[in-house]
Amino acid sequence: ELNLLYAGRISADRGMLDYLEILRGLRLRGIPARLILAGSFIPEQERAEFDQACLEMRDWITILGWTPYPEMPKVLRNADVGLAILQPIPRFKAALPVKLFEYMAAGLPVVASNFPLIREIVEKHHCGLLIDPSHGVKPAIDGIEEWWKHRETGIQAGERGRQAVLDHYNWDKLMQDLFALYDTLL
């Protein structure tokens, strides 16, 4: 099976319906994909929309609900791809979602929104693929299918992301950079 993971608040503006379309598209192509959702529906009324949209796919979806942080490493270890397809609204276009770095740290290739800050990281480290969520999810389905057919490609993308977190996107490195900035200013 190919386990797709989304971790965080579950809502339409955070890609909930896109993840269902990706799952549907992969299954139609014969890929035994599953969708794992680790988070809560916020707003709660979106749960009904989600339930209606996934009726025929229910057997391929696992909803873990809110997952305590100490349990997240296990959830991440059981995933093959990390999903972070935020919708093109202003607050997301200028954001760097923590989930992106969590997926990268876990060695997962990422599928994320093609927004400037996210693009800078994903392209720099070749750790996933970017899509424009306003143009549909076919590029995500195509890219994930490619990772499925050529497993090493996805594994290498995930490893590059993990190495990027070890080398650049961690508190020790950020602290060193901050101290260097202070030294320069002093």
Q: List pLDDT tens digits, range 133-163.
A: 999 999 999 999 999 999 999 999 999 999 9
Residue 49: which pLDDT band, with cuts at 50, 70 and 90? confident
User: Residue 132 phi/psi, 5° resolution?
Assistant: -90, 105
pLDDT at 178 over 80: no
The per-residue b/e assignment along 12-51, b for 16 or more CB within 10 angstroms, e otherwise, is eebbbbbbbbbbbbbbeeebebbbbbbbbbeeeebbeebe
Average confidence (pLDDT) over 86-100? 94
C-alpha closest to that of 107 among 131, 77, 133? 77
Amino acid at 7: A
pLDDT at 174 over 80: no
Average confidence (pLDDT) over 28-33? 98
Q: How many CA atoms lie within 13 A of 174 on its CB side?
A: 5
Average confidence (pLDDT) over 12-29? 96
Residue 173: which pLDDT band, with cuts at 50, 70 and 90? confident
Q: What is the largest CA-CA distance in the chain?
A: 62
pLDDT at 126 over 80: yes
Residue 114: which pLDDT band, with cuts at 50, 70 and 90? very high
Residue 13 has a pLDDT of 95
Q: Which two tokens stand for residue 66?
A: 């809110």
